[in-house]
Every structure is written in structure tokens, then in C-alpha cells.
């Protein structure tokens, strides 16, 4: 079992004078305690220096760099890693990104923290950590772990801010932070991030940017145009979102209605109005607001149809519920949220076998989805 404190997984040992792992091994300063990763088979007092491997030392050093930032021998430990693994940053970065992609988040975080401890001045590592926590938050939110998702979003924001403060500036830090702010309906800061990205890249030739860089610059400008044309950086828009999110729906609705008075053709505002009304169980009013959002351009947004389906389901309009959910699913075929709602619709229709299939599909996509786990456990009783 993995210890709660990662530092409990290592020994600190003092090696005897003239100790060497092999003829090709790196020189060891025997006056400095060496962190060594315990073997699973180790028991208390069972450590044998003759069985010591380079891998145990490197793993122990990475653990110290990740979790013991004030260790007095940090520089010495870094020097060992640099001598033994000259390409350590590249190797670990690739490993961490792969682990994150496979949603092995615990191990990915350990590797990223070790990387940061190895070179805390490398802001590219900081940006990768921001992207990692951003991705982790999205995964947890899809699984219904909202508090955990919010906590990881906070972590991501801290790392994005750190990366955006780098000197010289890292354009990609602003590009990716812009999408993070968009995700959180913070259009004011999203606009600022994308404007900075465009400014940093405007004088760079397309051939130097490459195909991906050109795409990013065009995408950033496209988003800026949309924010500007729809006045979405208005403080009332962000205020409405924050108020509704934390359960102050009436105050949030006041803010979004004020925004709509001056910006009647912004579908996102009508969507937010519908969202607030839906949370207040004002089903018919919410449906009308979502319909207006669709009329103004939200027809490619699966969340609009999904939100409408919730209202129709509460009103007992099962055919309309199914129609909305299938439209949402056609736009986002792997959305566990939408598939779960199809499961709830099946339950409402009395079709438990079909509901079981939907919730099982959710777990095939996301084995950690708490909602599907709970519903399946109920059906299996």
C-alpha cells in the first residue's frame, strides 16, 4: 500500500567510503545522506547496500525533489540526476504527459512534481503542470466529482498565472490560459490572455510559426472577435455566471437580464438565463430561454439540448426529452452527462434494462463516474 506521505517510501542512507555501484557509476559524496526508494519486499531494518540499484537512487531523488522542497542537499541530488540522465527532463515530460493522457493522474502528478523540483525555473514545466491540472479538473467534473474538479481548476489557475509571468514570455501560456478562462466563462481574462498571445506572435512570420502556430494565431483572433462583437467581457456576464454557480440564482438572473437588455442577440446570455431558471425549477421559462439561445446560434452546443431535456423530463414530456437528448448526443457522442440522462429517461419510462445499458456505457467511457456507479448499484439490488 502506498503511504500517505510519499517521503515515507524512501530511506536516507549514508554509504561507506569508496562505495561504488559499478565501474561506470557516478561518483557519490558519502558525507551526504542518499535518498533511496524502498523495494516492495523491504521490511524494517532489512536494507542491504549490496543490493542497491541506480534506479532506487534516482527514484528516491525524484521523490525528494517533488515533496521535500527545503531539503539542504537539493543541488547535489539534481547534479546526480543530470550526470546519470542528461535527457531527464525530456524523458520525464513525455512520461508524465502519457500518464495524464491515460488518466493515471496520481503517477502523472508525482512525475510533474519531480520535474518541477529538478528545474523550478523552467516555465515550460510550469505550463505543462497547468495543462495537467486543467485536464484533471475536466475529467473529475465529468465523473461528478465537482468539489475535486474545482480544487484542480484552482491549481491549474495558479500554474497558468505562474507560466504567464515568465520572462521571456511564453506565448502558449497565454493561448492555453485563454481557453481555461473561456471554460470558466471568464471572458474578461480570456480576452486579455488571447490579446497577449496575438501581440506576442503578430510579428512572427508564418513560416517560423509553422502550421500549428498559424492556426493558433487565427483561432485566438477569431475568439477575440467573438468576445468583442458580443460584448462578452462585460462584467455583468461574469457576475451572473458566478452568482448562479454558487446558488444565488435570483441575483444572477438580475445580472444576466441587464446584460441581455444591451446585448439581446448573444446566445450564451440566453443559455445562462435558461440555466438559472432551470436551477429555480422554472421549467417552462427555462425552455423558452434555451429555445431563444438555439434561435441565435446555439444549435451546435450540446449543453443547450441537454439542459432543455432536464426541463422536459421534469414536466413529464418524455418524447421531447428523448428528442433533445438524442440531438445532444449527436453533437457529443461520448458525453457521459448526456448518456446518464438517457439512463434517467429510461428509468422514467420504466425500462430498467435500457437504463442499465446506458449507465454501463457511461462506465465504459469513464470507470470513475460516481453517478453511473450509484445508479447501477441501485438497479443491481
Average pLDDT over residues 39-44: 60
Residue ranges and CATH numbers for the domains of the chain are 6-84 (no CATH), 303-381 (1.25.40.10)
Q: What is the pLDDT of residue 179?
A: 97
Average pLDDT over residues 351-362: 95
Q: What is the pLDDT of residue 23?
A: 47
What are the b/e assignments for 213-229, b being 16+ CB within 10 Å? bbebbeebeebbeebee
Calculate what percentage of the chain has a pLDDT beyond 70. Answer: 93
Compute the half-sphere exposure of residue 258: CA atoms within 13 Å on the CB side of its CA. Answer: 13
Q: What is the pLDDT of residue 21?
A: 56
Digit-coded pLDDT (tens) for 280-295:
999 999 999 999 999 9
Confidence of residue 49 (pLDDT cuts 50, 70, 90): low
Q: What is the pLDDT of residue 149?
A: 93
Q: What is the pLDDT of residue 43?
A: 54
Average pLDDT over residues 12-23: 66
Confidence of residue 132 (pLDDT cuts 50, 70, 90): very high
Q: Say yes or no to pLDDT of 17 above 60.
A: yes
Average pLDDT over residues 127-139: 95
> Is the model more confident about 9 or about 240?
240
Q: Say yes or no to pLDDT of 370 above 90.
A: no
| Nearest 10 degrees: Cα torsion 314, 141, 99, 79 | 180
- For residue 12, the surrounding DSSP H or E stretch is strand 10-13
Q: What is the pLDDT of residue 48?
A: 65
Q: Say yes or no to pLDDT of 27 above 90.
A: no
Q: Is 81 helix (H, G, I), strand (E, B) or coil?
A: helix
Confidence of residue 197 (pLDDT cuts 50, 70, 90): very high
Percent helix / strand / coil, the chain, rounded to 5: 70, 0, 25
Cα-based distances in Å from 150 to 103, 134, 156? 17, 10, 10
Strand (E) positions, 110-231?
none
Q: Say yes or no to pLDDT of 7 above 60.
A: yes
Range with lowest mean pLDDT among 21-35, 36-50, 200-214 = 36-50
pLDDT, the chain, mean? 90
Q: What is the pLDDT of residue 45?
A: 53
Confidence of residue 1 (pLDDT cuts 50, 70, 90): very low
Q: What is the pLDDT of residue 44?
A: 52
Confidence of residue 22 (pLDDT cuts 50, 70, 90): low
Q: Say yes or no to pLDDT of 316 above 80.
A: yes
Amino acid at each position: 500500500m502506498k503511504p500517505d506521505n510519499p517521503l515515507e517510501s524512501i530511506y536516507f542512507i549514508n554509504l561507506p567510503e569508496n562505495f561504488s555501484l559499478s565501474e561506470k557509476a557516478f561518483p557519490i559524496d558519502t558525507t551526504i545522506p542518499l535518498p533511496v526508494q524502498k523495494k516492495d519486499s523491504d521490511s524494517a531494518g532489512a536494507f542491504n547496500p549490496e543490493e542497491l540499484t541506480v534506479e532506487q537512487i534516482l527514484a528516491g531523488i525524484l521523490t525528494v525533489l517533488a515533496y521535500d522542497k527545503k531539503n539542504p542537499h537539493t543541488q547535489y541530488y539534481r547534479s546526480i540526476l543530470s550526470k546519470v540522465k542528461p535527457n531527464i527532463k525530456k524523458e520525464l515530460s513525455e512520461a508524465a504527459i502519457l500518464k495524464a493522457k491515460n488518466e493515471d493522474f496520481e503517477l502523472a502528478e508525482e512525475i510533474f512534481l519531480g520535474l518541477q523540483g529538478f528545474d523550478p525555473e523552467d516555465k515550460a514545466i510550469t505550463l505543462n503542470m497547468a495543462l495537467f491540472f486543467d485536464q484533471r479538473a475536466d475529467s473529475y467534473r465529468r465523473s461528478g466529482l465537482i468539489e475535486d474538479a474545482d480544487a484542480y481548476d484552482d491549481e491549474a489557475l495558479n500554474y497558468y498565472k505562474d507560466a504567464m509571468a515568465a520572462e521571456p514570455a511564453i506565448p502558449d501560456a497565454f493561448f492555453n490560459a485563454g481557453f481555461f478562462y473561456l471554460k470558466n466563462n471568464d471572458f474578461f481574462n480570456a480576452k486579455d490572455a488571447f490579446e497577449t498571445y496575438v501581440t506576442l506572435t503578430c510579428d512572427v512570420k508564418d513560416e517560423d510559426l509553422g502550421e500549428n502556430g498559424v492556426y493558433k494565431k487565427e483561432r485566438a483572433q477569431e475568439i477575440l472577435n467573438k468576445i468583442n462583437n458580443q460584448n462578452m467581457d462585460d462584467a455583468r456576464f461574469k457576475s451572473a455566471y458566478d452568482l448562479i454557480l454558487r446558488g444565488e440564482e435570483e441575483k444572477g438572473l438580475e445580472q444576466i437580464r441587464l446584460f441581455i437588455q444591451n446585448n439581446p442577440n448573444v446566445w450564451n446570455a440566453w443559455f445562462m438565463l435558461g440555466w438559472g431558471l432551470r436551477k429555480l425549477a422554472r421549467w417552462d421559462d427555462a425552455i423558452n430561454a434555451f429555445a431563444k439561445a438555439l434561435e441565435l446560434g446555439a444549435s451546435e452546443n450540446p449543453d443547450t439540448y441537454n439542459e432543455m431535456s432536464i426541463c422536459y423530463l421534469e414536466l413529464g414530456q418524455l418524447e421531447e426529452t428523448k428528442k433533445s437528448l438524442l440531438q445532444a448526443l449527436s453533437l457529443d457522442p461520448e458525453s457521459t452527462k448526456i448518456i446518464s440522462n438517457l439512463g434517467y429517461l429510461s428509468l422514467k419510462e420504466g425500462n430498467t434494462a435500457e437504463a442499465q445499458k446506458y449507465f454501463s456505457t457511461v462506465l465504459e467511457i469513464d470507470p470513475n463516474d460516481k453517478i453511473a456507479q450509484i445508479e447501477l448499484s441501485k438497479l443491481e439490488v
